[in-house]
Homo-oligomer: A and B are copies of this chain.
């Protein structure tokens, strides 16, 4: 294991982080808040970054192992150093790291009890971490740093969401730049839309950060319900839906083939699932909760899109809904966005391939000698991709149940344990009961919080990248 490379990369990352934190510092200047939290953090991060990148100088190549270690180590570094401003505003160490990991992984689970009590600059940073993490720290890095070159492709793969590589451009740096550009443009559109809907610039920007990163943080304890505006809800619903789809596909739709989006099997399935769940939930809510179908539809579409795309915003305390309605949201938790999106969950393409695999076996029962490849977007999917999808789902289920059991054994009730586990590994945010949308992860015992911080990282880096670091073989020379 070449540690020099890892520390060198961490050094560069810290320099980058200290630069990025100039933005919340400016917010603090604008609102006349104390400059100390971000000033101190920028200084610490920047100086340490310069030292590390000077001491550990490398130009050499790296192997698979180093690439994986770099990605995981980078994310942990970002979560720790990004959490310093929280600590400086009096949040405990574990809670600060929880909140920052929840931000960068765009999970949106919160441990801050009285959100409005914190400074506007801190809450701005909190939302901003979701935007950065949503598209990917490493991807942003690759787009900006020219040095990485060819080696960047492997890092890109380790962080990119989804089972199959999306070769948008021959050079990985161009791909990274393109993705970030599309992300930036759509985000700008949302800011404008929210401004036109009457939000302040601060509210428009922070909520755009959380929407586009599929994050779910809001500077208000009430979340999106604070605006009580069907127009704002509609805009956010639309952009959550957009953020849950493949950004590479948007690029292709605009610049090469207009029908790319509509022809894409994953996008079609994603849309179909969201529409179906919305319709079912509307009817259930009409029966169980609200006066008329319009009100039911308003809450249903927002919550289905929010949970399915793993954003986690709430316009209502859905924890108070009937169990029938909650079951629909439970189903939504397992959808996730599409591969190549900022959304969490297992991703639609994986579920789709798993279902196709299951049904193929039925045909094999009738035609034992048939060899029938599984198709996706009209092309045969290699069997080793299928195997890795299945392994992913296996590890996903194992980790979910393992974390849930740790919570349950610490006295957390079953529904809270299971949904807290799913909501963190899927980077969704809220669960049910004590971790509901208007409840708080602060009630989780210490060990549970540590597990959930791990879950968020595992979920964001799509398990294998992090799991592999636990193999003894990984650390052998």
Interface residues of A (CB under 8 A from B): 64-65, 68, 280, 284, 322-324, 326-328, 330-331, 354-355, 357-366, 368, 383-384, 386-388, 390-392, 394-395, 398, 401, 404-405, 408-415, 417, 464-465, 467-468, 471, 473-474
Contact status B284-A409, CB under 8 Å: yes
In the complex, which residues of chain B have a beta carbon less than 8 angstroms from the beta carbon of A395?
Answer: 358, 361
Chain B nearest CB, measured from A304 CB (Å): 14
Contact status B360-A64, CB under 8 Å: no
Complex-state Cα separation, A405 to B328, whole angstroms: 8
In the complex, which residues of chain B have a beta carbon less than 8 angstroms from the beta carbon of A323?
Answer: 408, 411-414, 417
Chain B nearest CB, measured from A391 CB (Å): 4
Contact status A358-B398, CB under 8 Å: yes
10 contacts between A and B (CB under 8 A): A323-B417, A324-B410, A357-B387, A358-B390, A358-B398, A361-B388, A362-B464, A362-B467, A364-B384, A414-B415
Contact status B388-A390, CB under 8 Å: no
Contact status A404-B366, CB under 8 Å: no
Contact status B408-A365, CB under 8 Å: no
Contact status B414-A326, CB under 8 Å: yes
Q: How many copies does the complex hold?
A: 2
Complex-state Cα separation, A126 to B411, whole angstroms: 39
Residue of B nearest to A432 (CB): B414
Tell me whether chain A's interface is mostly helix, strand or loop, or mixed: helix
Contact status A468-B365, CB under 8 Å: yes
When the two chains form the complex, which single residue of B363, B368, B414 contacts A327, counting CB atoms closer than 8 Å? B414
Contact status A324-B411, CB under 8 Å: yes
Residue of B nearest to A358 (CB): B394
Contact status B327-A404, CB under 8 Å: yes
In the complex, which residues of chain B have a beta carbon less than 8 angstroms from the beta carbon of A468?
Answer: 362, 365-366
Chain B nearest CB, measured from A152 CB (Å): 18
Contact status A364-B388, CB under 8 Å: yes
Complex-state Cα separation, A477 to B37, whole angstroms: 75
In the complex, which residues of chain B have a beta carbon less than 8 angstroms from the beta carbon of A473?
Answer: 363, 366
- With A362-B464, A368-B64 known as contacts, the answer to whether A405 contacts B327 (CB < 8 A) is yes
In the complex, which residues of chain B have a beta carbon less than 8 angstroms from the beta carbon of A284?
Answer: 409
In the complex, which residues of chain B have a beta carbon less than 8 angstroms from the beta carbon of A471?
Answer: 362-363, 366
Chain B nearest CB, measured from A294 CB (Å): 21
Complex-state Cα separation, A365 to B364, whole angstroms: 30
Chain B nearest CB, measured from A422 CB (Å): 13
Contact status A408-B64, CB under 8 Å: no
Known: A324-B411, A361-B387. 19 other contacts (CB 8 A): A322-B411, A324-B409, A327-B409, A357-B390, A357-B391, A358-B392, A358-B394, A358-B395, A361-B391, A361-B464, A362-B467, A362-B468, A363-B471, A364-B388, A365-B465, A366-B471, A386-B387, A390-B390, A415-B415
Contact status A405-B331, CB under 8 Å: yes
Most-contacted residue by chain B among A358, A471, A473 (CB, 10 A): A358
Residue of B nearest to A394 (CB): B358
Contact status B331-A392, CB under 8 Å: no
Chain B nearest CB, measured from A70 CB (Å): 14
Most-contacted residue by chain B among A68, A383, A414 (CB, 10 A): A414
Complex-state Cα separation, A324 to B331, whole angstroms: 24
Complex-state Cα separation, A465 to B358, whole angstroms: 13
In the complex, which residues of chain B have a beta carbon less than 8 angstroms from the beta carbon of A330?
Answer: 414
In the complex, which residues of chain B have a beta carbon less than 8 angstroms from the beta carbon of A328?
Answer: 405
